[in-house]
Amino acid sequence: MSGPGVDPASDPASDVTSGGGVDWDDLHRRATQMMQRAYAPYSSFPVGVAGLVDDGRVVAGCNVENAAYGVALCAECGMVSDLHATGGGRLVAVYCVGGDGQALMACGRCRQLLWENGGPDCLVMTPLGVVPMAQLLPQAFGRDDLESHHGAR
Ligand SMILES: [Zn+2]
């Protein structure tokens, strides 16, 4: 293992990346519950995700497919909607799981969603342990870019 990642199996209570006392076991349990509610009749690839909010709330989501495949919603979409629907705030830790209950990486689009709602310090459980968003989406495009590159009008 290299980098700031930590193997959750060997050190579940690790404060590495300091998730500031993130209860990864609880996030995993909630993500797994959500995965079991996924609507994935076409891919049979259920996904669930849970995120810890900076005020202590936990928000969650599952993937929702559609007969028009292209409009399927990733689990993170539901979680971000849950975040704002229940009061907003910033994501500080996220755990996404697949049908086997193991950590699953967010797709490219969803990394952008996590960046918008959690920023570079948001911690994400990955198959290699916990890593901050700054490593999962290097040189990310974000709000600051809108403000500094809008050009003259
Ligand atoms: Zn996604």
pLDDT at 130 over 60: yes
The pLDDT tens digits for 25-47 are 999 999 999 999 999 999 999 99
Q: What is the pLDDT of residue 12?
A: 41
Average pLDDT value for the chain: 90
Distance CA 68, CA 143 (A): 31
Q: What separation in angstroms does the CA of 59 have from each of 56, 74, 151?
A: 10, 14, 37
- CA of residue 114 to ligand 1 center, whole Å: 10
Active site residues: 76
63 alpha carbon – ligand 1 mean position (Å)? 9
- Written as six digits, the tokens of 87 are 């009061």
CA 109 to ligand 1 centroid distance, Å: 5
State pTM to two decimals.
0.85
Percent with pLDDT over 90 in the chain? 82
pLDDT at 147: 87
Q: What's domain 16-148's architecture?
A: 3-Layer(aba) Sandwich (3.40)
